Amino acid sequence: MSYRIIVTDHAHKDLRQIMLWYNEQQKNFENDFISRAEELISRLAKNPLIYQVRKKGFGMISLTSSPYLALYEIIKQDVGLWCNS
């Protein structure tokens, strides 16, 4: 069974800020970050239950090798994705 991932507007803004900051630190980081984020979203869609649910029903997963976390919530067959920058 596959879950539908819903990326919130807040998550889009956070991801963009993260990419911009990392691009200033390391050239060409954006492509690597996008590839890793897509892989993470794909794994989350396949089975969001493999990650530990922590705060008030929200799961937390690390965004690649960065210090940032993505928060998600499972609602029936959907997974709402938020970022925490």
CA dihedral 63, 68, 72, 78 (to 10 degrees): -40
Which pLDDT does position 70 carry in this prediction?
82
Radius of gyration of the chain measured on its C-alpha atoms: 13
Q: How far apart are CA 52 and CA 60, in angstroms?
A: 7
* Three-state secondary structure string covering 12-70: HHHHHHHHHHHHHHCCCHHHHHHHHHHHHHHHHHHCHHHCCECHHHEEEEECCCCCCEE
Tens digits of pLDDT across the chain (85 residues): 788 999 889 888 888 888 887 788 777 777 777 888 888 888 889 988 888 777 677 888 877 666 777 888 888 888 887 766 4
Task: Look up the pTM and report it.
Answer: 0.72
| Domains contained in the chain, CATH given | 4-84 (3.30.2310.20)
Structure tokens at 18: 């993260």
